[in-house]
Amino acid sequence: MKETGKKKIAVINGPNINILGVREPEIYGKASWNQIEKELKKEALKLNLDIVFFQSNHEGDIVDFIQENLFFLDGVVINPAAFTKTGYSILDALTATGIPFVEVHLSNINARESWHAETIFSSKAAGHINGFQSYSYILGLYGLNHIISKEDSMDESDGR
């Protein structure tokens, strides 16, 4: 646990998430990123989690964020967006740290053109959620909280 006694979760977004609400709302929904962030803050408060947000259109910036925060994070909710198929350095940063992560997507990537369903993250992710537009993030947060809480209870039950 971190200095506040709360688990700390990062919500990390790849390219173009900063223009949600404007970008193809029929696919990604009408909620802006600011609206989604507000909802996630409310849910994190209910779950007694500290939450931080990071978005970049540049892969290296995401890698830098993960590396700079690896000793402070208990988990990550990530929407790699356009890096879903190509973001090997992001995936390496996540797997090198051992931080559990949940991959989320706003659209149902399996119901779109076949190339949308190709993800390098899902085989290493603790969970994968897609197709619920902005609610995908809330489901991801709850799922990740369940995973990291389960890890804590297992640590306590085996004497760690």
Domain boundaries, the chain: 7-157
What pLDDT sits at residue 160?
A: 43
Work out the pLDDT band at 5, boundaries 50, 70, 90: confident
Quote the CA–CA distance of 20 and 153 in Å, as a whole number: 37
Chain segment 49-66, per-residue pLDDT in tens: 999 999 999 999 999 999
For the chain, the average pLDDT equals 89
Q: Give ∠ CA 52-65-149 in degrees, rounded to 5.
A: 50
Chain segment 23-38, per-residue pLDDT in tens: 888 878 889 999 999 9
Work out the pLDDT band at 109, boundaries 50, 70, 90: confident
Look at residue 17 and tell me whether its pLDDT is greater than 90: yes
Quote the CA–CA distance of 128 and 140 in Å, as a whole number: 8
Please, are residues 153 and 143 in contact by the beta-carbon 8 Å criterion?
no
Work out the pLDDT band at 150, boundaries 50, 70, 90: confident
**CATH classification code of 7-157:** 3.40.50.9100
* 137: annotated active-site residue: no
* 105: annotated active-site residue: yes
Of 28, 58, 116, 128, the active-site residue reads 28
68-80: average pLDDT: 96
Bigger pLDDT: 4 or 60? 60
Look at residue 125 and tell me whether its pLDDT is greater than 80: yes
Q: What share of the chain in percent tops pLDDT 90? A: 74
What pLDDT sits at residue 27?
A: 78
What pLDDT sits at residue 24?
A: 80
Of 105, 116, 135, 137, the active-site residue reads 105
Q: What are phi and psi of 31, to 5 degrees?
A: -70, 135
122-150: average pLDDT: 95
Q: What phi-psi label fits residue 36: left (phi over 0), alpha (psi between -120 and 50 degrees) or beta?
A: alpha
